[in-house]
Structure 1
Amino acid sequence: MRGRTPLLALRQVSRYFGAVEALVDVDLEVHAHEVVALVGDNGAGKSTLAKVVAGVLSPSSGQVEVDGEPVTISSPSVANQLGVASVFQDLAVCENLDVTANVFLGQELRGRAGLLRDGEMETETRALLEHLTIRIPSVRTPLRHLSAGQRQAVVIARTLIGQPRIVVLDEPTAALSVAQTAEVLTHIQRLRELGLGVILISHNLNDVRAVSDRIEVLRHGRNNGSFPASATHEEILAAITGAA
């Protein structure tokens, strides 16, 4: 991967909230066909970094690049235009709506007179679920009838609307059962197979080592180590806690 232009790069990115240093001179690269895990203790800056990439927060200093070109991600809509899709812990789903409506939530296909193109959206939803090997009873099943793992899968499928190239997943396996976690990890691997670059934020080192190509550690808002997925728990934990 080295030597190739990354899909996404953060160069010396800092973000301050008053006197609080949430990120300090952080560097990060994500390539196509790569899952990069971002790990660190609470308050390490992981979610702040995710929000900078997603256009929710602007960096105080530093540069963000997409395909080697400097960009300003001033809002989530600009992020989407640049090919960045994000899933945060609050899934922003409507439990009374079905799978199709949630996949196209806020991005509905409309025809003349503003009428919804239901058939097209159903077809596209089925295709997206198949791409990610997501098993759902029906695209017309209301979300409230799905498991937590299936809901997370639906939201991951929603990221593919608009054909993004970079997907940011913030704690996608939090509060899931072992079986549900395994399914979601399979979907993440599928995103990589489809050629996307994935940033995976997680506290679970087992999950991280199972699906990541590279593990980046943040500590007190700073880079504190880059590891292959084959690194031991002890090596990664030492970087997270500052023992290294």
Structure 2
Amino acid sequence: METTKTTVPVLELCGIDMHYGYVQALDSIDFHVNPGEVVGLLGDNGAGKSTLLKIMSGAHRPTGGKVQVHGRKVELDSPSQATAAGIQMVYQDLALVDALDIATNLNIGREILRKGIFGLLGFVDHKAQRKRSEAELDKLGVRTAAMTRPVEMLSGGQRQVVALARSATRVAGDHNGVLLLDEPTAALGYEQTQQVQALIRRMADQGIAIVLVTHNLQLATAVCDRIAVLNRGRKVADIATEDTDNDALVGWITGARPSMFE
């Protein structure tokens, strides 16, 4: 007798509604992402992508529906609760501290203190932080500038890589979490976009689940395993990337193509 292997989604949203007064921003959205999967979240401006992303990251609480992480229902009332559940958001502004070096940015919030009395006084062990950062970046296959270089001296692509790597190190582990990426290549050139694209795939290969919000169809079709499309607060498509094309995606985004679920 054959048994079917099932994968429990890392993150699953069931019947999500979101109201702002009389305006319904999201209408019964079902969405999930599996371990090691990259799911693109596409839609025109006002489609509901940002609202759904804010619900996943704990910035907004939905009006209705439920959120599950690794099969367990969770209440994401704040970004800190989402972080505790293994969900990391990488914003368009990257949230890096320009004046600090790469290693310090990678270790913000999880600093290594020096041993003894200096640690009790809050002195940071910068050498240990640099060593840990180098090991973590090597695991991700990331090559950046020296760990001591200030972020303000990095290129746009290097800054994006540092921001992605910082979040990836926080969700990697025995129970890999979720990375939420909001337009990660919006301000990058072709070569820098290729670098970020390769990093996204490497992170997915290590078991990290990734949700990618982007207007770049070329990036979505190149890096995503599956694509979900929102239109006016409703999910109109959820399909394997290999089973669709740009014309179909544009049709769902603009509303010219009927929903898959009607």
Percent identity between the two aligned chains: 38
Given that residues 104 and 161 in structure 1 are in contact (C-alpha distance below 8 angstroms), is that contact kept between their aligned partners in structure 2?
no
How far did 1:91 drift?
1.1
**Which whole-Å deviations, capped at 9, do the CAs of 1:106-127 have from their partners, x for residues lacking one?**
3323333211121221112112
Gaps of 5+ in 2: 114-118, 258-262
Aligned to 2:253: 240
Residue of structure 2 in register with 1:181 after alignment = 193
Looking at CA atoms only, which structure, 1 or 2, has the larger radius of gyration?
A: 2
List structure 1 segments (4+ residues) > 6 angstroms apart after TM superposition: none
What TM-score, normalized to structure 2? 0.89
In 1, the alpha carbon distance for the partners of 2:240 and 2:53 equals 21
Q: Given the superposition, is the C-alpha separation of residues 237 and 23 from structure 1 closer, same or farther in structure 2, using an over 3 Å criterion?
A: same
Structure 1 partner of 2:16: 13
Residue 168 of structure 2 contacts residue 203 of structure 2 at CA under 8 Å; is this kept in 1?
no
C-alpha displacement at 1:166, in angstroms? 0.8
Q: Which amino acid letter does the alignment assign opposite residue 186 of structure 1?
A: A
Contact persistence 1:22–1:45 (CA under 8 A)? yes
Offset of 1:33 from its aligned partner? 1.0
Q: Which residue of 1 aligns with 2:156?
A: 148
Alignment partner, residue 201 of structure 1: 213
Superposition deviation, residue 5 in structure 1: 1.4
Alignment RMSD, CA only? 1.5
CA distance in 2 between counterparts of 1:106 and 1:227 reads 37
Equivalent residue letter for 2:47 = A
Q: CA deviation at 1:2?
A: 8.5
Segments of 5+ residues of structure 1 without an aligned counterpart are none
Q: Give yes or no for contact 1:11–1:62 (8 Å, CA) kept in 2.
A: yes
Match of 2:31 in 1: 28
TM-score (norm. length: structure 1): 0.96
Does the Cα contact within 8 Å between 2:47 and 2:232 map onto a contact in 1?
yes
1:190 matched to 2:193: no
Matched, 1:64 2:67: yes
Number of equivalences: 244
One-letter amino acid matched to 1:200 = L
